Structure 1
Amino acid sequence: MNRKLTFLILSVFLPFLLSGCWDSRELNSLSIVSATSIDRSDDEWVMSFQVVIPQSIATQTGGGSGGSQSPITIFSTRGKTIREAMQNANLEAPRTLFFAHNSILIINEEVVRNEGVRQILDFFLRPVESRETMSVLLTKDKASNLLEVLIPLEKITGNAIQRVITQGQENLSQVKNIKLIDFASMIANPYRSAIAPELKVSGDQDEQSTLDALKSTRNKAVIRLGDLGVFRGDKLIGWLKREESRGVAWLSNSVKNLIIVFPCSDRQNTLLSSYRVVHSSTQAEPVLVDGSINMKIHIETKGALDETSCTLDLTKPDVITKLEDVITEQIKDEIETAWKRMKEMNADPVGFMDMIHRRYPAVSKQLSKSEQPLQEIKLNLNIKVTIEHTNMINKPFTNLIEPK
């Protein structure tokens, strides 16, 4: 009797254990999206998707036909809403679009200037499949053009763009990799201006969009990072150029790896040297002085002299001190250039207003009533530069060459 009862129980419950994944999808029924772009045309959203072609990126030993066809293809759809545009992709794409590997979102300048990013963020933060860590980028040209450029070193353009951003953030501190979730947080913060880097094509984009581009020894076009877009609310209001972006990086404690080119002295601007930042830290503190806010900025940077054409004896401490003073002035100029531009744009990508709000809520409330709050803030800079070493040689190689 017990054996019959046990068998009956197992026959009832075993099917539940063997039911598998109810929401699973076969890989051969999906189109894997690596990058997405957003444009506007005729009052409609234009969505473009860079889809990976698996057989084209497979190695020949794996049975693929790598090199015989493009590693990617582009689908473009449109709709009155972003969701409708996405849905209309089913009219063209033979497989269901799969966004779990989508790492890049590129938005056209006109979209973020006129429409803003509110609706875009609302859409991409909703789906479970969407990646909150995808990088947000802007472009002054048609966004879908960037998805079409083929890059020999990286067959999937979305991956190449991601590497360009990572390299730029690590080696050029004026570039910052802005994740979707961080971008949304900046947009939602009333005391700080959001930022996003520009991506652009340099060269002949049409030539670099054909399969022959992968067989050429020289690229006809390259994808590169450009200016830094600045927002007020959810709309783009302007751009920061390279030197201005570096100033923002200094103020934001975002400098990691950076080369500073500086003259040998104030009177000698033709002979240049390179100072490589090894370590840098920035401390910003709002201080109330006689009813006015002073932002006390303390920057300390340490680095090495990587290159010099100065005819100076680098073994002497006073010579090193003079060079440190010149570098200090160079950093100060970059910061003051950025601060001037910030006040012109009436934008705060550094987050000074947020710092003031945290320490002096009443003062922050009063500043918020002003049409130009940054004009009422004074910047107090204290910069300390240290040249820790001059690498393998102490004296410039120029000093070793005897004049003829």
Structure 2
Amino acid sequence: MIKKMSLMICLLLLSGCWDKSELNEIAIALAIGIDLIDDEYVVTAQVIVPSELSQNGGTGNSQITMLKAKDKSVLGAINKVTEASPRAIYPGHLQILVFGETLAREKGIVETVDSFTRNWEVRSDFFIAVAKDTNAEEILKVQTPLEIAPIHMFYSIQQTAQNSGKSVRISLIEIAQELEKVGKQPVLAKVELKGDTKKGASKQNLEGINPEAHLNMSGLSVFKKDKLVGWLEQEDTVNFNIITNHLKSTVDTVSCPKEGNIELRINKAKSKLKGNVINGQPKIDMNIKLSGNINAIACDIDLQDENIIKELETNYEKQLKASMLKTIKKLQDEHHSDIFGFGRTIYENDPKGWNKIKDQWTEELFAELEVIIEVEATIKNTGITNNSLLGNVKD
């Protein structure tokens, strides 16, 4: 980690952004947490400790430190953090911005997003997450074994979204655009603190093989306008990514014809939506095409039989369709939030129809929306062995 952070500072020097004296005057912020406590914004900045990243080696203390301040406005709290630091806070290499749950639910995030988008020093490629059941400060305090917390969260969101589809990578510019879209509600990544939260902030969390506390980045946070209204877990998050064409890869299981199941690696998914309004009633037609390979088999099956492959594809199509309808129903009944952009699809396909229903969309008509789903699944590769090894073992 020390080598990695030292390399990052060297790259900053080589980039020509600052000279040596300027680097000595700034504090590089890797993470910022924003909470709401007693109707005040509390900003926590996690910054690099330069002395711990020197080529001669540090003292063995933490490579990052926390600075905190509060104010009636986001900018006021950020300014106070800078005033409390011997160095100017530089956000140009921010990895993660975390909102506390109370702030996201009660105040909303628009003021913070607007403030950050107007800061020319802030790059827009960091990720944003919402802390579930806790505040942002507690999340940033957690000691993580492989990477410091900001880098851990950044790469965890990136890898979870890319390899399993169980999280979402939302940057500053993307959430700013989502907040302005017609007929679509925003989402952000979700972060949870699991385990012994008191020990998570101590060095003890790094000393054992199994950390007492850890951060979980799967799932997503659901918004209505700029306020948090709920959460989605892993299966629903994968469905969201499929519907919105953000899925890169995921692993799922499908039932075998008789008993047991097969694990599939889905590596391609394409969603097409069409929407219109007929006699005042909105309707969405959805076509999902997926393809993937067989990863593992836990049943006695003949993969050389084309009919068997077709049956597996049909089983998976039915299974995924049922799962998607369940996810959509959850958003309609529990959260009343159109995160899929069904309203935007109607707006683009049938603008006249949309103008007639837009005022009743999220509160009334979205809850009653009929969604017709068609799924086409293709298994392209069965692996290096044609048949299941399970049959040979049983014999």
User: What TM-score, normalized to structure 2?
Assistant: 0.89
Cα distance in 1, alignment partners of residues 194 and 66 from structure 2: 20
Counterpart residue number, 1:3: none
Counterpart residue number, 2:56: 63
Q: Deviations over 1:181-218 (max 9, x none)?
A: 11111112231100012111212233232234444333
1:352 pairs, out of 342, 351, 363, with 342
Give yes or no for the alignment of 1:374 onto 2:370.
Answer: no
Q: Which runs of 5+ in 1 are unaligned?
A: 1-19
Counterpart residue number, 2:10: none
Displacement of 1:24 in angstroms is 9.4
**C-alpha contact (below 8 Å) 2:282/2:365 kept by paired residues:** no
Give yes or no for the alignment of 1:274 onto 2:263.
Answer: yes
1:144 pairs, out of 137, 143, 154, with 137
Give the letter for the 2:274 counterpart: E
Give the letter for the 1:40 counterpart: L
State the structure with more CA Rg: 1
How do residues 316-335 of structure 1 correspond to structure 2 at under 5 angstroms? Answer: 316-335=305-324
Q: Would the alpha carbon gap of residues 396 and 136 (structure 1) be closer, same or farther in structure 2, given more than 3 Å must change?
A: same
Cα distance in 2, alignment partners of residues 23 and 88 from structure 1: 26
Counterpart residue number, 1:229: 221
Give the letter for the 2:316 counterpart: I
How do residues 114-263 of structure 1 correspond to structure 2 at under 5 angstroms? Answer: 114-140=106-132, 141-154=134-147, 156-263=148-255
Q: Would the alpha carbon gap of residues 21 and 143 (structure 1) be closer, same or farther in structure 2, given more than 3 Å must change?
A: closer
Displacement of 1:228 in angstroms is 1.6
Cα distance in 1, alignment partners of residues 298 and 44 from structure 2: 50
Work out the number of aligned pairs and report it: 376
Give yes or no for the alignment of 1:364 onto 2:354.
Answer: yes
Q: Would the alpha carbon gap of residues 142 and 293 (structure 1) be closer, same or farther in structure 2, given more than 3 Å must change?
A: closer
2:25 pairs, out of 15, 29, 34, with 29
**C-alpha contact (below 8 Å) 1:192/1:350 kept by paired residues:** yes
How do residues 6-85 of structure 1 correspond to structure 2 at under 5 angstroms? Answer: 26-58=22-54, 62-65=55-58, 68-85=60-77
Give the letter for the 1:347 counterpart: S
2:293 pairs, out of 304, 310, 325, with 304
**C-alpha contact (below 8 Å) 1:250/1:335 kept by paired residues:** no
Q: Deviations over 1:293-334 (max 9, x none)?
A: 432211111111111112121110011111111111121122
Q: Which runs of 5+ in 2 are unaligned?
A: 1-15
Counterpart residue number, 2:4: none
Q: Deviations over 1:318-376 (max 9, x none)?
A: 11111111111121122111110121122111111111112211211122132312244
**C-alpha contact (below 8 Å) 2:253/2:264 kept by paired residues:** yes
Q: Would the alpha carbon gap of residues 90 and 288 (structure 1) be closer, same or farther in structure 2, given more than 3 Å must change?
A: closer
Cα distance in 2, alignment partners of residues 293 and 190 from structure 1: 16
**C-alpha contact (below 8 Å) 2:252/2:263 kept by paired residues:** yes
Give yes or no for the alignment of 1:95 onto 2:84.
Answer: no
Q: Deviations over 1:113-134 (max 9, x none)?
A: 1111121112111111122222
Aligned-pair Cα RMSD in Å: 2.2
Cα distance in 1, alignment partners of residues 370 and 142 from structure 2: 45
Give the letter for the 1:368 counterpart: K
Give the letter for the 2:299 counterpart: C
Cα distance in 2, alignment partners of residues 313 and 240 from structure 1: 37
